[in-house]
Chain A
């Protein structure tokens, strides 16, 4: 492999890693606070992509505004789903899992009826390439990296340093003790679900110029997010970052060196290996 090829492969891997990070961070946030495994998270990613497809691709609204609108709308949808569906089943985890599976099928069906099942695409808002020391990288791909990194950094800063972030951690660690400090777990849960959903929407909106869009793109995405979380360890922020980077780079390297099918195989192979050695994931506790 030439050094140009290597740089290209690494950039691609990093881009995929950042997208996985956005989806997995939201999924992990929702899991750690409400202990809900939301199988419909991939569908929120899909719907986020459709919002950008229509706002930007069809109606010509500025790409960044479309992305922001997508995050707000899907974030709101997530908060509503939590408040009016998941929260009512809060004592019954199995029912919540089944609810999320039902929502997954429902949202795929609704999107098929509303948007059609054909392959859709959007031309990228950024054309051209960056050339640096003989390495050529497409702007549309490269720009995903800083945007996702900023969003993930914002999430981490929120959780670590703000009053709301502390309240989220408090609810995750002991909901009743959080109640006794005056925190309303209902509100915090809806907020966390909304933030998690809007990150999924951002990921969907960021890839829509790169890949074909159908109502069924969520399935593959959520599988990858689960791999990331299992790799990194449930409930660990560092774990999500490390898991995404490992998955993105392994997939990208194996794709370039061997092929796409082998890349998927390698991703799950790494997962099995890590879990054999460290059943809690790389950074899991408890």
Chain B
């Protein structure tokens, strides 16, 4: 297994945002973490990427304990976190944003060929590579955020609600992009409120509620689960 979270508890002051959460990501898989607003999904990703120190519990990546590592080291090891709301650098150009993703890399040749590859995936980014990121639509910004993430040459992508605020057409497009990234060997932790989109892509699903994993299993089994149907699908 590539990434594993063991009994992770995270606190903001006295409030517990996550309580003893455990999950496993195997190499080449996509796992989906779903749950309503405030369930602790973003907190989970933030503590994997080192933005938030856990109160207790462990995060292991490639047989290495990373729960006390700095965000910078975690990026270097191969985990890239694409945060909620894209969080692009608004006054930088498309190309500058992409180069920021490769900040820790020193292989000029590799950076150049990866840049060409990202442009190959998202031709619209190449067309407007000198435009400032703030001028783009939500879907284009999400593509840029994914592109910036890929520029770090990650082994694991942590994606926080990539479909948020996008049109249904764009949601489908982003799903195809995620599937394509995964085919090239990058494992994905996909956090979503949009449960059907997430479970269509994933090999394993976790349902988070008030900071705890309340259900886990194969996505199609979870989709047929009474509680899931009631809570998320309204049937």
Contact = CB atoms under 8 A, between A and B. Distances in A.
Interface string A164-179: 0011011001101111
B72 A177 contact: no
A183 interface: yes
Nearest to A171: B89
A176 B86 CA distance: 12
Interface stretch (B2-10, B59-67, B75-83, B210-218): B75-83
Given A163-B103, A170-B100, A176-B83, A182 B72 contact: yes
B96 interface: yes
Nearest to B73: A182
B99 interface: yes
A174 to B, nearest CB: 6
A82 B111 CA distance: 33
Interface residues of A, number: 16
Nearest to B134: A173
Contact of B92 (A163, A173, A180, A184): A173
Contacts of A2: none
Contacts of A173: 89-92
A166 B83 contact: no
A163 B111 CA distance: 13
Interface string B180-215: 000000000000000000000000000000000000
A158 B92 CA distance: 15
Contacts of A3: none
Nearest to A235: B91
A132 B87 CA distance: 55
A261 interface: no
Given A169-B89, A173-B90, A184 B83 contact: no
Contact of A170 (B72, B80, B89, B152): B89
A176 B89 contact: no
Given A173-B89, A174-B87, A180 B51 contact: yes
Interface of A: 163, 166-167, 169-170, 173-174, 176-184
